[in-house]
Structure 1
Amino acid sequence: MPSKGSKKACDVATAKIGFVGAGKLAESIISGLVVYGKVDPKRIHVAAPSSNNTDRLKQSFQGLKVSKRNLDIFGKFDCDIIFLAVNGSVIRNLYKLGGSRPAPLTTNYIPNMKHPLYVLSLITGFEIKVIKDCLLNPEHPEKYMLEMHRIMLNCAAAFGLGVCAVDVEPDSKKLAEPVRALLSLVAKLEYIPEAQMDAACALCGSGLSFSYYFINAMSDGALKIGLSRAAAVKFSAKTVNCATQTLLESGKHPNELKDEVCAPSGGAIYGLSILDKADVASGVSGAVEAAYKRALSLAREDNPA
């Protein structure tokens, strides 16, 4: 980050937090920050063109401030840490409007801040350098005290249990302490190169939904053979959690652990044969790929279907 003016970095305990976009992911992060991170809603500011979601956020989190102008996050509200939580079609449309140089995401280019500014892009399909072109005045980009990262943060952040991928090593000096501290309130941080961030979004973002789908399917099977719905869901979730923890703890390949569970002529191998006949593995793999392609289509196509 440029050190011009040697302004002091913000304190995560008092920092103003901004969101450009008010969709499901933004709402999940806000919920996690307030409920589990104990962040005062008065420090959170949200900009979105429609009031459909922001009205609900204001009702849910008393004191949260909203605007229909993206520029207010950087100007009027003067936020310190800002999440860009819009889909790729927004950036694509800016390039359609502006040509080789995109129109600003904020109507006007963001002002030169009086303090260090931290911007975290959750936008699939666009590199940081492209996002910067939508924010910074090209006549004097060197005057900004800006640190910007691409991140992936999934909706489990709403429960303080998110997975967060960052484009630098989380424990290095390349990630500012206020950003590390804020993200750590709602997620465990991992390093993923920027070039692989879109794949991480498909796996950990959309993959969370696929995991719930699988847990629900297992609980349906248990309900069919006599467990109550509540018990079936609870024990399906606990079983998946056991699988997750043993996989991470052992460092073994999932196929190896799968084989260790299967006794000769036992129930597990018979059940797995049903999954193989239904080609479940191919379906799950295809779902991740489909999520990835859809997100990129929003970023790259003029009129994604």
Structure 2
Amino acid sequence: LKKQGSVGFLKPGVKPLGFMKGYYNFSQELGIAVTHSNIEVVCGSDVVFVAVKPHLVPLVLKEVTQHVTGRHMIVSVAAGVTLATLEELLPENSVAIRLMPNLPCLVQEGALLFARGSHAKQEDGALLRSLLHRCGLVEEGPEAWIDIHTGLSGSGVAFVYLFAEALAEGAVKMGMPSALAHSIASQTVLGAGRLLRDSGKHPAQLRSEVCTPGGTTIYGLHTLEQGGVRASTMSAVESATERARELGRKSTAGSRK
């Protein structure tokens, strides 16, 4: 793949994935052709995103595999479906890439990680970066990191939402109106995240900068530590990662049936 070609998405239903919307959000005129035929998508595209539920990947790829040629790059966003499974389902020497986006791609602030299959070259990875850079941060790593990324960033988004909700509810408990509390909580999470990213500082350093001896923040942090927030968060990432790995084992077993 020497240059950016046409892009197609294989997905059942009508609700678009976040990174799909993020990819096109910068354009005023989408100009997206919609079809009910997966085969038509493959034949008319150079880069094909397999955006289906994990258990549907074998079915969808079986439908289109005879139309996949050397010009195609197949990018799967199905959680847990391994590169080995993809390459087993596709024609020999097919270019396969495994990608894990997350929900903030909707606002072009996503975190995406991809891993290249055995026949995907560096230039294929570069093409994928060029296609998705408007969705947010795009990084490459070994496949073993994809499941970790799922727990850290794919599922991690929900963990942040839970914390934001708890922040707001704490303020409501203390007497602040709900709408205002949620607005301030969301801005607090947004501002803290941006400062963390842009400053390049370790989270612990920024945290220490907020704390003053005997102040409100250190008292609040003490309460969070007593509640096991740090350990619970680490365990949540671990649990989500293990679940992604479990899905991968199931997808491998299912593709061999």
Q: Deviations over 1:150-171 (max 9, x none)?
A: 2221111122221111336xxx
Change (3 A) 1:118 1:150: same
Aligned counterpart in structure 2 of residue 287 of structure 1, from 236, 239, 249? 236
User: What's the counterpart of residue 61 of structure 2?
Assistant: 105
Q: Which stretch has the larger CA shift, 212-221 or 272-281?
A: 272-281
Letter in 1 for 2:36: V
Letter in 1 for 2:85: V
| 2:211 and 2:217 in contact (8 A); partners too | yes
For 1:104 and 1:81, the matched residues in 2 are separated by 16
Secondary structure (helix, strand or coil) at the match of 2:155 reads helix
Aligned counterpart in structure 2 of residue 79 of structure 1, from 38, 45, 64? 45
Tell me whether 1:161 sits opposite 2:129 in the alignment: no
Q: Report the identity percentage.
A: 28
Superposition RMSD in Å: 2.9
Q: Deviations over 1:119-148 (max 9, x none)?
A: 212233343243111121xxxx35xxx543
For 2:53 and 2:247, the matched residues in 1 are separated by 7
For 1:287 and 1:81, the matched residues in 2 are separated by 34
Change (3 A) 1:106 1:23: farther
Question: Is there any run of 5+ residues in structure 2 with no aligned partner, and where?
Answer: 117-121
Give the TM-score taking structure 2 as reference length: 0.81
Q: Which has a greater percent of helix?
A: 2
| 1:206 and 1:291 in contact (8 A); partners too | yes
| 1:32 and 1:157 in contact (8 A); partners too | yes
For 2:167 and 2:41, the matched residues in 1 are separated by 44
User: What's the counterpart of residue 123 of structure 1?
Assistant: 78
Question: Is there any run of 5+ residues in structure 1 with no aligned partner, and where?
Answer: 2-7, 44-63, 95-102
Tell me whether 1:17 sits opposite 2:11 in the alignment: no
Secondary structure (helix, strand or coil) at the match of 2:10 reads strand
**CA shift at 1:216, angstroms?**
0.9
**CA shift at 1:180, angstroms?**
2.7
Q: Deviations over 1:29-72 (max 9, x none)?
A: 333334444463533xxxxxxxxxxxxxxxxxxxx3234xx544
Tell me whether 1:173 sits opposite 2:123 in the alignment: yes
**CA shift at 1:194, angstroms?**
2.1
User: What's the counterpart of residue 184 of structure 1?
Assistant: 133
**CA shift at 1:256, angstroms?**
2.5
Give the TM-score taking structure 1 as reference length: 0.70
User: What's the counterpart of residue 119 of structure 2?
Assistant: none
Letter in 1 for 2:9: G
Letter in 1 for 2:115: D
Aligned residues: 247
